[in-house]
Amino acid sequence: MDRSSLLQLIQEQLDPENTGFIGADTFTGLVHSHELPLDPAKLDMLVALAQSNERGQVCYQELVDLISSKRSSSFKRAIANGQRALPRDGLLDEPGLGVYKRFVRYVAYEILPREVDRHWYFYRHRSCPPPVFMASVTLAQIIVFLCYGARFNKWVLQTYHPEYMKSPLVYHPGHRARAWRFVTYMFMHVGLEQLGFNALLQLMIGVPLEMVHGLLRISLLYLAGVLAGSLTVSITDMRAPVVGGSGGVYALCSAHLANVVMLFLFTLSQNWAGMRCPYKLLRMVLALVCMSSEVGRAVWLRFSPPLPASGPQPSFMAHLAGAVVGVSMGLTILRSYEERLRDQCGWWVVLLAYGTFLLFAIFWNVFAYDLLGAHVPPPP
């Protein structure tokens, strides 16, 4: 029996008067009798949902969302306020898992703070499509770095090479009309140290985030941080070029860390204690150390270059812009990995703010440089 036939049968047999409510116990028996059991996570959530109703009933539309792997806001509120808690046994206690399922369980505890979300993700996760976006971006950055490193025979502080700024990928204020440079600069890096930091964070945080939230949301957040980084530099540090994917990396890391901190403050120690991953704290400390070190390195190179240079060194403002995008847009995107973005009011507010920033930055780049008489270094 397929999903649509099951829903039709449920409505005909359990809600013939179209009241909009169905008894949870009767529904569970019907599913088992037709040899179409739901996965344990869905059955547990169904019972919890029924217990939140005084009559032990489930709203038909919420039941449709459950079977269709969609959770509405009202459904999640019912789960949160249900009188019957979900089973206390966590995924860490589940035996007999293969290597890949253990990795999925690890990702669930790394990314999701609530046990109900972990169960939901664990039982409905599919290996296809794989998290290809962050892996592809990291691989492309490594290939580009190796190509330029071999060409210049220089692997550290590549920006000091006289030919480096001639790359068609680098954002340079003298080439603002070449709009693709506002994004493609993410494939270029100052040296091995910057590439190492970014690749580590992209794989350590970006891949698990993509596994949970999907390619579309994570690519949107990453590219929004990259674009905001170059545009912010064009406004606040008008003479400086930009290289590196730090804008996107900081958007991902800041979004994830801010999401964890907000949930921790909201429920005090409940959610943090629920994140029972052995290396959770170590992983977050490592991410913060990498982010802080990268910002410090960028500030040092910008204001105290260790070698004579023909022009200003890359700006560090892209890091800060990415962090702002992560805290604002990322909190909305990662707050609910199941709820559709267009159903969230906060998403439209953030989208409007980001669109306003883009329009302002475009007008700034078109008119402000001439009006302010900015002394831009000659394009290479």
- Among residues 140, 108, 159, the alpha carbon closest in space to that of 274 is found at 108
| Contact in structure between 172 and 135 (CB atoms under 8 Å) | no
In the set 52, 167, 219, 246, the catalytic residue is 246
Q: How far is CA 281 from CA 77, 257, 288, in A?
A: 29, 11, 11
> What is the C-alpha to C-alpha distance for residues 141 and 144, in angstroms, rounded to an integer?
5
Q: Is the peptide bond before 168 cis (omega within 30 degrees of 0)?
A: no
Residue located via tokens 């290939």 = 143
* Pair of tokens at residue 89: 């046994």
Listing DSSP states for 231-284 in one string gives HHHHHHSTT--B-SSHHHHHHHHHHHHHHHHHHHHHHTHHHHHH---TTHHHHH
Out of 119, 189, 319, 328, which one is annotated catalytic?
319
Instruction: Please confirm, yes or no, whether 293 is among the known catalytic residues.
Output: no
For residue 223, give Cα distances in angstroms to 13, 140, 266: 49, 15, 29
319 is catalytic: yes
Say if CB 176 and CB 240 are below 8 A apart: no
Report d(CA 319, CA 138) in Å as an integer: 17
User: Which sequence positions are flagged as catalytic?
Assistant: 246, 319
